[in-house]
Amino acid sequence: MAVDEHRAPRTTESDDARRLVKARRPGFGIGLLKGMAVTLKHLFKHNTVIQYPDEKQDLSSRTRGVIALKEENCTVCMLCARECPDWCIYIDSHKETLAPKREGGRPRKRNILDRFAIDYALCMYCGICVEVCPYDALFWSREFEYAEYDIRELTHEKEKLSDWMASVLPPPALEEGAEYPGSPTRAPEVADGVAAPVKPVQAEASDAAAGTPERRGAQAAPLGTGGRPADAGAPKEAKPDVGPVPGRQAEAAPAPEGAEPAAAEAPPVQEEEQQAAPSQEQAPGPEPTAEDHAGPGGRTETASPEVLGIQMGAEPASPSPRESTETPSPEVLGIQMGGGPAPSPGAGEDAVGAPEEAETRTPQEGPDPEEVARLQETPGPNVEVPNEEPKPTALDPTEDPKEVYEAVLSDQLAKGSSPEVAEARAKVARVKAERGIARNPGVATKEDS
Amino acid sequence: MFDITLATWQILVIKIIVILTVVPVGALVGGYAEHKVMAHLQHRLGPMYPGGFHGWATTLADGIKFLYKEDIIPAAADRKVFSLAPAAIMVPIIMTYLVIPIDRALIVEDLDVGIFYLLAVGSLSTIGLLMAGWSSANKYALIGALRSAAQLIAYELPIVLAAVVVAMLAGSLSLIDIVETQNWPFAIWPPGIGFIAFLLFTVGAVAEMTRVPFDMPVAESEIITGPFTEYSGMRYIFAHMFAEMGHMVAFGGIGATLFLGGYQPIVPIPFLDFIPGVIWFSAKTMFMIFLFLWIRPTFSRVREDQLQKFAWKFLIPVGLALVLVTGAWVLYV
């Protein structure tokens, strides 16, 4: 019979071999009947076929259908067009200059979106554009029934993409107890935890504007110049940077140049600064402080700066809170560290502007330098302390480039390099010597030879 | 019932009309059954649109579609043989319908040599297949034709031997006698012999129709449609589809007649006698057809050499042994 060749030796030991032996035994057609039982089972099962187009499938909320565009969010950064592996996004834009918001302000430049088209004949629905968009202007929709008779109709323009927004699902709900950004839930807790009575500071526009720009400028100055705390000098000490919110301070980077001289000088410069400051703000309003204080809790007093200070970077980056965080953070931190009293008024001599108060410090004053210094040495978990003395690449040249050139050239020729190679290497060494860049130890230097 | 005497020629005409109606309709219904039953066995729906209600008109629509297709004959083909091949396949199949008893009195022609006639005529379609493949001027059609010829010859024998067993047990070659002598339980009695004969017949029938798992000659995914590769339009339907569906119904009927008791009720309870034999016969035929359809989506294709080995080295020796045993049974029991 035909089954002879299927008989395997039975003296095997390993598991696999055992199974193989078992599988090769003549089954007398039982396996066939088992197979028939399987198909018969399916005959009697309820059929799960979805008869499209009469019936449609229940699509999950994450279904990748068409990609919709929310025009107002698009800043024409071109990231989506760049990252698209298929190059199927076509974007055109132009820059326009708008009138300044305030009298004498700087004219604003805006990028206006002219054309935004996605060619769905090319699109492979990878979603990289949706992922990469930093402004949440692209969204997934579940629509997939947009086949056309003409392939040119598959390029959806701005208008059509905006129409698709109607089919975009709302974002999924956050889990139980999660915090929505800007929610008032945190403010009350924190405010309740504040031991010391908070002196409400009625920040006047002028004062606030006067205080804050310089604050911010001074604040930014030490960081803006990066590695020169020594250069910050006396005036800067009065407004030492507070570690906790470097991010926002970095945003004030445009300020330093203007702020530096302003900080060290008398109030007349402050007025300039004051004028310059609002132009840097992206948030609207001549009363930035007031609004800024209208932080999560909608409070307009110091409560929110404290809150913001405590949150330490968890705030959505609005430009002005940073100016006020500098002020309250030491206070707040002082409070955090056990409800300590207000710092001593020791830094009053350097503080430009208002005299300090015993218990709390107004936003117009600088933060207590002692406090700040102490805190800088022991930063908290969310604090970023900037690097000290980052080394610039340009050093003073210590070697004579010409001599270096000669030395390297002769050295290379002696080692047997071809003339072109030797010359090239010598030239490179000369350039490095000019710029003060340390060269490889293997290359001949003036000191070595 | 009616007091009519019909002349011979009139009876002949009626019989011809009956046959020529039953066979195509049977093939159509069989084809639709194949679509739907196979689909549900594979956990899908099958055709749902043609005709509206679950696609009942699928095969009808197919037939009409093929009517208006172009009739292409390859330039190098042997035109006469090419044109005659579908007929050579279809006619023997139609002829097998002549002797199948639907009810005690409902048989087109009750031949005394019913089984003999059946087997003889049934083998003729092999020639048609060879004609089709060879005249196509296509290498792969030729391969398919030769494979099918070899297969049909090989699997003719298990069918013949099983039929011989039945004839010996019944003591007659007439199909009506065969049906009459069958007792409940069908296909099992005599113990062992009947069942093995039934299995032999079923396997042989499936192979005879070049159905899966024995569809090497056709081997859709490999040599397209084997002998029928060059056929298009209505010629193709007659040569392939019609032939296969007609064959399926015919073999279903033959199986029901030989092994399942034909038009007799399933269980010999007098209560069931009022149901006409036609219904019983139809039910049994449908069961046989369901067997053929059930096998199709379940098993994978058997390779040509495995196919031949199975027939010649297993089925035929078993069949011969069975004949021997049946002979002994008949003589001494």
In degrees and rounded to multiples of 5, residue A91 shows phi and psi of -125, 135
In this predicted structure, the answer to whether residue A328 has a pLDDT above a threshold of 90 is: no
DSSP structural state of residue B49: S
pTM: 0.61
Query: Per mean pLDDT, which range of A97-111, A267-281, B150-164 is the poorest?
Result: A267-281
pLDDT top residue among A395 and A408: A408
A412 band by pLDDT with thresholds 50, 70 and 90? confident
**Which of B257, B99, B97 has the alpha carbon at shortest distance from B167?**
B257
Average pLDDT (A339-364) is 46
Nearest to B294 among A1, A40, A48 (CB): A40
What pLDDT shows up at residue A149? 95
Q: How high does pLDDT run on average in chain A? A: 66
B140-163 confidence digits (pLDDT tens): 888 888 888 899 999 999 999 999
A364 band by pLDDT with thresholds 50, 70 and 90? low
- Smallest CA–CA distance, residue A143 to chain B, in Å, is 26
pLDDT top residue among A376 and B32: B32
Distance in angstroms (rounded) separating the CA atoms of residues A318 and A116: 29
- Smallest CA–CA distance, residue B297 to chain A, in Å, is 8
Distance in angstroms (rounded) separating the CA atoms of residues A129 and B184: 74
Cβ-based contacts of A49 with chain B (< 8 Å): 44-45
Task: Report the residue of A28, A39, A45, A52 to disrupt the B interface, i.e. the one with the largest count of B CBs within 10 Å.
Answer: A39
The contacts of residue B50 (CB under 8 Å, 6+ apart) are B56, B57, B58, B60, B61
What pLDDT shows up at residue B271? 78
Average pLDDT (A204-211) is 43
pLDDT top residue among B218 and A121: A121
- Smallest CA–CA distance, residue B252 to chain A, in Å, is 19
Q: With pLDDT > 90 as the criterion, what percentage of chain A qualifies?
A: 20
Smallest CA–CA distance from B314 into chain A, residue: A1
Q: What tokens appear for A176 in the block?
A: 């139980």
CB contact under 8 A, B43 and A36: no
A248 band by pLDDT with thresholds 50, 70 and 90? very low
CB contact under 8 A, A39 and B297: yes
What pLDDT shows up at residue A389? 53
pLDDT top residue among A302 and B196: B196
- Give the DSSP H or E segment for B172: none
**Which of A255, A251, A260, A292 has the alpha carbon at shortest distance from A277?**
A255
What pLDDT shows up at residue A126? 94
pLDDT under 50 in chain B at which residues? none
What pLDDT shows up at residue B274? 81
The answer to whether the beta carbons of residues A221 and A238 sit under 8 Å apart is no
Distance in angstroms (rounded) separating the CA atoms of residues A380 and A197: 24
What pLDDT shows up at residue A212? 43
Average pLDDT (A21-50) is 84
- Smallest CA–CA distance, residue A8 to chain B, in Å, is 20
Cβ-based contacts of A1 with chain B (< 8 Å): 313-314
Confirm whether the ipTM is greater than 0.85.
no
What pLDDT shows up at residue A218? 42
Q: With pLDDT > 70 as the criterion, what percentage of chain A qualifies?
A: 47
Assign B295 to helix, strand or coil: helix
Cβ of residue A31 closer than 8 Å to a chain B Cβ: no
Cβ of residue B79 closer than 8 Å to a chain A Cβ: no
In this predicted structure, the answer to whether residue A413 has a pLDDT above a threshold of 60 is: yes
B108-143 confidence digits (pLDDT tens): 888 889 899 999 998 898 999 899 989 988 888 888
In this predicted structure, the answer to whether residue A252 has a pLDDT above a threshold of 50 is: no
In this predicted structure, the answer to whether residue A351 has a pLDDT above a threshold of 50 is: no
What pLDDT shows up at residue A11? 56
Smallest CA–CA distance from B291 into chain A, residue: A36
